[in-house]
Amino acid sequence: MSTELSADPYADHIGILSSRLEAALAGTSLDGLLIAAGQEHTAFLDDRAYPFIVNPHFNHWVPVRQVPESFVLVRPAHKPVLFFHQPADYWYMSASAPEDEWTSYWDIRIIQNITEVRDQIDPPNLGFIGEDTALAEAWGCREINPESVLNHLHYYRAYKTDYEIDALQVAANTAVRGHLKARDTFFSGGSEFDIQHAYLAATFHREQETPYTSIVAINEHASVLHYQYYDQSTPVDNLSMLIDAGANAQGYAADVTRTYAKRDGLFADLVTTMDEQQQALIKAIPEFSNYTDLHLDMHLRLSQLLVESGLSTMSAPAMVESGVSFYFMPHGLGHLVGLQTHDVGGQQRDVEGILKPPPEQHRALRLTRNIEDDMVFTIEPGLYFIPMLLKQLRASEHNSSINWTMINELIGFGGIRIEDNILMRNGQPHNLTRSAFAEAS
């Protein structure tokens, strides 16, 4: 959702990336960067390739994702070049050369073999960004994945262009279509496997096209933060579902989580309260300059909720201070989202790559930067009943402050997570996910 309409967001995007490139190369003697899309990898002793995941630095410049062995050559003050790989092959289908509007900003050269790239570039004056460092070495690129350049580019990846924001909104809209279908499939008694397939069908995604492996967790499976299976049978009593599933648009990710309760009761009430608190937290974002402080505020709200529900007799600040809230919420409040679901640069203090680590008790927090305009990040508070952590809490000095009868009632529900993607504009949060849900209903 871009607030100011540009005539051509992609043209602006290329302009912005070009300025960032120039600044990133300023302290180097490089003329430009050769950025590889990447190459396929096959399984051990096999000829079957793993799903291809494009180098995000490549995808940042061009909406091309499934064309391994392609390259972009970007140099300040030169028209960028796309070497588009189109091998002569009767075993596999070659990608069709792109013809969309965006190609007018590119010098597109079709190659059948990557040696044709080597013949058209000047490696001693180029930096190489990509996985195949042996290739870059063989070609004689001056620098290979230079850290100073990568730090610079990663830092600025946090600030999304209008073109990127449009893609992120499309991804959110697509994910929401899947979430609505998944919810219906859960309430009509579908298994995790059924729900995952309903989700993929509704989003028109192959499993390998989603930006991350969907988490479809019924009952206690929701207590496994990255639960990775899809049970093909439905439990006799399917009480709850946590679904964390995304979608992809031009390489940009949506990262969305919803939790549902089958019946009214304590767990359903907790889901409602978590949903209210998540929205209240988003509303409060302008009061915080730094994401770490927002994360800590979430712990305070969560602790308050646990006290008010009767799960804990401690004070909310004492729960955060002593680390008791961690046992119920062991991950970070959120992360940057973009070309990668967990986008780069979340803990970077500056372009030099100096890190700003999270507080000692909150090691899993991936985003510690100041909250600024044009950033897109997730807000995903959770409340879990994880047997392994509860066992530790039970063995701790805080044992007697916890209502274990209630906890035992809740363990079979696994947990709650509610996750939206937020864009900052003019100091205000814009909820890409909730606007997609509103649009869809």
Q: Segment near Mn ion (CB under 5 A), from 29-37, 48-56, 178-186, 374-382? A: 374-382
439 is in an annotated binding site: no
Sheet strand arrangement including 252-261: 215-218, 240-249, 252-261
121 or 245: CB nearest Mn ion: 245
Output the smallest distance, CB 380 to Mn ion, in A. Answer: 5
273 or 378: CB nearest Mn ion: 378
Sheet strand arrangement including 420-425: 376-379, 420-425, 428-431
Other C-beta atoms closer than 10 Å to the C-beta of 135 total: 18
132 is in an annotated binding site: no
Binding-site size, Mn ion (CB under 5 A): 2
Residue 190, both tokens: 């579908």
Q: Segment near Mn ion (CB under 5 A), from 145-153, 248-256, 289-297, 432-440? A: 248-256
Are 395 and 360 a contacting pair, CB within 8 Å?
Answer: no
Chain Cα centroid distance, residue 243: 15
Output the smallest distance, CB 48 to Mn ion, in A. Answer: 30
430 is in an annotated binding site: no
Residue 412, both tokens: 């079979």
220 or 255: CB nearest Mn ion: 255
Q: Rounded to whole angstroms, how far apart are CA atoms 207 and 331?
A: 25
DSSP state of 119: T
Output the smallest distance, CB 336 to Mn ion, in A. Answer: 10
Sheet strand arrangement including 81-85: 107-111, 81-85, 71-74, 32-36, 126-129, 143-144
Residue 134, both tokens: 């042996």
Q: Segment near Mn ion (CB under 5 A), from 79-87, 278-286, 356-364, 371-379? A: 371-379
Binding Mn ion by CB under 5 A: which of 378, 401, 421, 433?
A: 378
Q: Which residue has the tokens 């952590």?
A: 389
Q: Segment near Mn ion (CB under 5 A), from 81-89, 144-152, 350-358, 377-385? A: 377-385
Output the smallest distance, CB 419 to Mn ion, in A. Answer: 5
**Considering only residues 172-201, where is the footprint of Mn ion by CB under 5 A?**
none
Q: Segment near Mn ion (CB under 5 A), from 48-56, 85-93, 250-258, 410-418? A: 250-258
Residues whose CB is less than 8 angstroms from the CB of residue 324 and which lie 6 or more positions away in sequence, other chains included: 303, 312, 314, 318, 393, 398, 401, 402
Residues whose CB is less than 8 angstroms from the CB of residue 203 and which lie 6 or more positions away in sequence, other chains included: 174, 175, 177, 178, 210, 247
Binding Mn ion by CB under 5 A: which of 69, 162, 192, 255?
A: 255
Output the smallest distance, CB 433 to Mn ion, in A. Answer: 11
239 or 245: CB nearest Mn ion: 245
Residue in 177, 243, 170 with CA at minimum distance from that of residue 421:
170
Q: Which residue is nearest to Mn ion (CB)?
A: 255
Are 290 and 307 a contacting pair, CB within 8 Å?
Answer: no
Output the smallest distance, CB 257 to Mn ion, in A. Answer: 7
Output the smallest distance, CB 422 to Mn ion, in A. Answer: 12
294 or 316: CB nearest Mn ion: 294
**Considering only residues 291-350, where is the footprint of Mn ion by CB under 5 A?**
none
255 or 343: CB nearest Mn ion: 255
255 is in an annotated binding site: yes
3-state secondary structure of 131: coil
**Sign for the pseudo-dihedral over CA of 382, 155, 369, 352:** positive
269 is in an annotated binding site: no
424, amino acid identity: M
Output the smallest distance, CB 172 to Mn ion, in A. Answer: 13
220 or 380: CB nearest Mn ion: 380
Range list of H helices, 353-422: 387-394, 404-410
Q: Segment near Mn ion (CB under 5 A), from 158-166, 184-192, 305-313, 370-378? A: 370-378
20 or 258: CB nearest Mn ion: 258
DSSP state of 242: E
The binding site for Mn ion (CB under 5 A) comprises 255, 378
Annotated binding site: 244, 255, 335, 380, 419
Annotated binding site for Mn(2+): 244, 255, 335, 380, 419
